[in-house]
């Protein structure tokens, strides 16, 4: 009670304040007392078990007729209460709501991409072969061009040539016409020793 009035003893000398906080404290303690060790088999400190009956010689609770009627009604309710009942459980579920048009459009695009991939891979499978080696080191890069005689020859002749010299349309090797763009390809080609190699070489 002192905690409820901020440790002011003078406040408890006021009877309405004293009575209010006394009811709160006693009610709180009684709630703890009544809810301690409650089971359906034995009841508890303030609850009687379901189906409980009093002895036949149990006398009246009170001389007050109203109190006795309420007690008899509670005793009857306790003896007829069912041990099971219906309950409704509500769960909050987050749902993603999407437009049906957007869903079908995405499915159609995925189906088109899958179909086009299958068609392209079936008709020109050779273009989709894996690289014979990774390109992650300087040595792997050199492995692609060490047998590219025409590419190496062009590189030696144009060692000082920069992209700005010919714009972004492509480098033009010496001795070629100005309207001919230099082109290279990655794939199998024949080297100087007429052996097939896989790498980068200038095309005709």
Q: pLDDT by residue (tens digit) across 21-54?
A: 999 999 999 999 988 888 877 778 887 777 676 6
Please indicate whether residue 15 or residue 165 has the higher confidence score (pLDDT): 15
Give the confidence band of 129 by pLDDT, cuts at 50, 70, 90: low
What was the pLDDT predicted at 22? 94
Flag whether pLDDT at 124 surpasses 80.
no
Residue 191: its pLDDT value, please? Answer: 78
Same domain assignment for residues 56 and 5 = no
Q: How far is CA 125 from the centre of its chain?
A: 38
Decide which of 192 and 11 is more confident: 11
Residue 19: pLDDT band (50, 70, 90) is very high
Structural domain includes residue 115: no
Greatest extent of the chain over all pairs of C-alpha atoms, in Å: 129
Work out the pLDDT band at 91, boundaries 50, 70, 90.
very high
Alpha carbons within 13 A on the beta-carbon side of 133: 14
96 within some domain: no
Whether 1 contacts 25, CB under 8 Å: yes
Of the candidates 132, 128, 150, the residue with the CA atom closest to the CA atom of residue 204: 150
What is the tally of structural domains in the chain? Answer: 3
- The pLDDT of 89-96, averaged and rounded, is 91
Average pLDDT of the residues in 11-22? 91
Q: Is the pLDDT of residue 168 over 60?
A: no
Residue 93 forms part of a structural domain: no
Q: Cα(81)–Cα(103) distance, rounded to whole angstroms?
A: 53
pLDDT of residue 25: 94
φ, ψ for residue 202 (rounded to 5)?
A: -70, 135
Q: Are residues 23 and 60 in the same domain?
A: no
Q: Tell me the C-alpha distance between 65 and 59, whole Å.
A: 13
How many residues appear in the chain?
204
Mean pLDDT of the chain: 80
Long-range pairs for 13-22: beta carbons < 8 A, 24 or more residues apart: none
Verify that 78 and 133 share a domain, yes or no: no
CA dihedral 94, 96, 97, 98 (to 10 degrees): 180
Alpha helices, H only, 48-183: 65-80, 100-123, 138-145, 149-157, 163-166
Residue 50's domain spans which residues?
Answer: 44-82
What is the per-residue pLDDT for 76?
Answer: 66
On the question of pLDDT at 110 being above 80, the answer is yes
- Give the closest residue to 200 by CA, choosing from 137, 146, 120, 125: 146
Residue 17, burial from CB neighbour count under 10 angstroms (0-12, 13-18, 19+): middle
Which of 18-27, 57-66, 168-177 shows the lowest mean pLDDT across its residues? 168-177
The verdict on residue 57 lying in a domain is: yes
92 located within any domain: no
Question: 144 and 177, same structural domain?
Answer: yes
- Of residues 64 and 79, more confidently modeled: 64
pLDDT for res 162 = 60
Task: Specify if 39 maps to a domain.
Answer: no
Res 165 pLDDT > 60: no
Q: Residue 136: helix, strand or coil by DSSP?
A: coil
């Amino acid at each position: 009670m002192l905690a409820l009035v901020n440790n002011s003893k003078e406040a408890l000398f006021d009877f309405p304040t004293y009575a209010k906080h006394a009811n709160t404290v006693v009610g709180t303690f009684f709630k703890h007392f009544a809810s301690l060790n409650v089971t359906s088999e034995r009841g508890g400190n303030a609850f009687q078990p379901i189906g409980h009956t009093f002895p036949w010689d149990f006398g009246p609770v009170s001389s007050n007729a109203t109190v006795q009627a309420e007690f008899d009604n509670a005793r009857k309710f306790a003896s007829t209460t069912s041990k099971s009942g219906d309950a409704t459980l509500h769960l909050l579920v987050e749902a993603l709501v999407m437009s049906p048009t957007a869903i079908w459009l995405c499915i159609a695009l995925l189906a088109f991409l899958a179909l086009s991939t299958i068609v392209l891979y079936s008709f020109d499978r050779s273009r989709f072969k894996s690289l014979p080696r990774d390109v992650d080191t300087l040595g792997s890069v050199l492995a692609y061009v060490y047998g590219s005689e025409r590419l190496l020859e062009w590189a030696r002749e144009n060692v000082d040539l920069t992209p700005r010299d010919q714009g972004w349309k492509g480098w033009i090797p010496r001795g070629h016409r100005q309207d001919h763009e230099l082109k290279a390809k990655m794939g199998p080609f024949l080297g100087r020793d007429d052996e097939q190699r896989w790498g980068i070489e200038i095309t005709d």
